[in-house]
Structure 1
């Protein structure tokens, strides 16, 4: 990816008033011999707005797909798992509760209740497919991630 490429939206959980999104940025990094890409979690609301950086790998994308499956089954999901970076805790209640946690760095967390529209999971599956297609053109294959943290 080059610097003139716009960030790619990987996920978006939003209503008319607030949103949480993850965008893959244009910078590949290679920590611990694996292929990762810089990304950011973006929180936007009238009360609080901010962003926190993270890195994602092809394995993290697989884990996000498993999280989408868990959310479709009305199960709570955490992504990305492993505690190595900022992460999301998503509870599929009415409204959906999304908590952004920056535990490894600042210890700050923000929870937003989001009244998601119908089709929000399908929209996120489409975003994931788009990011995968783009990164597959730019990256070699990567071993799978540990997975989506699920609660039952």
Structure 2
């Protein structure tokens, strides 16, 4: 989650099984005084592992894109001041929305804790 007092980008997840593979219905939600939107996507266990690597890259002040593969909507995050998050709805509508977000100093730790909770919840469902 990326948030400041005015802008918010949130990802939520719920389990979904497709054949032998387990995916999680997720949603990216954008909220600001200017734009409000949401886009659905499906994430896998591998995508969750990839988000952990993205957090490592962001901590090293490198940009990150998640999830990769071009199968659904995705985020591009640039760790500048303010953090820049772009939500891409491709391959569906081809619309992208970029939001600058003044994150709290502990935003990476907060994201790691959220990821840990999601991974633990997924482990109990699997």
1:7-64 CA distances to partner (integer Å, 9 max, x unpaired)? xxxxx10100001110003x41316x42101010000101000100001111000000
Indicate conservation of the 8 Å contact 1:29/1:38, yes or no: no
SS at structure 2 position matched to 1:35: strand
1:50-109 CA distances to partner (integer Å, 9 max, x unpaired)? 100001111000000000000000000000001000000000000000000001101111
Alignment of 1:44-123 (within 5 A): 44-123=31-110
- Name the count of aligned residue pairs: 126
Q: Which runs of 4 or more aligned residues in structure 1 lie more than 4 Å from their structure 2 counterparts after TM superposition?
A: none
Which structure shows the higher strand fraction?
2
Q: TM-score, normalised by structure 2?
A: 0.97
Q: TM-score, normalised by structure 1?
A: 0.81
Q: Which residue of 1 aligns with 2:16?
A: 28
Q: Over aligned residues, Cα RMSD in angstroms?
A: 0.9
Alignment of 1:131-146 (within 5 A): 131-139=118-126
Give the gaps of 5 or more residues in structure 1: 1-11, 140-152
